[in-house]
């Protein structure tokens, strides 16, 4: 449903859930899901594969892994300030 206004997408999705007999979501739940999709697209969600990559890249050393996350903390804080 790319290219359609958000209101139309929400209405269409809500109607689809009703037709399929699924739970209808609230606007807030829809907005949170849209933010999650945006964060995932921009690499702001740490997936199990991403965590595995970080651990392997730091040779399974807890101190190196901790140092990596401490170095990333300012950038993570900056990401959480922005609204997409």
pLDDT tens digits for 27-80?
888 888 888 888 888 877 888 999 999 999 999 999 999 999 999 999 888 877
CA distance 16 to 10: 10
- Determine the pLDDT at residue 68: 95
- Determine the pLDDT at residue 60: 97
> pLDDT tens across 3-12, in order?
555 555 555 5
Does residue 19 surpass a pLDDT of 80?
A: no
Q: 34: which residues sit within 8 A by CB, 6+ positions away?
A: 6
Distance of CA 80 to CAs 39, 44, 57, Å? 10, 9, 25
Q: Where are the domains of the chain?
A: 1-42, 46-84
Question: Would you tell me how many other CB atoms lie within 10 Å of the CB of residue 79?
Answer: 14
């Amino acid at each position: 449903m790319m290219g359609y206004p958000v209101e139309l997408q929400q209405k269409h999705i809500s109607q689809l859930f009703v037709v399929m007999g699924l739970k209808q979501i609230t606007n807030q739940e829809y907005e949170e899901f849209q933010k999650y999709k945006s964060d995932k697209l921009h690499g702001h969600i740490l997936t199990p594969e991403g965590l595995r990559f970080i651990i392997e890249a730091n040779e399974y050393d807890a101190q190196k892994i901790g140092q990596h996350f401490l170095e990333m903390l300012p950038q993570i804080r900056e990401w959480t300030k922005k609204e997409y």
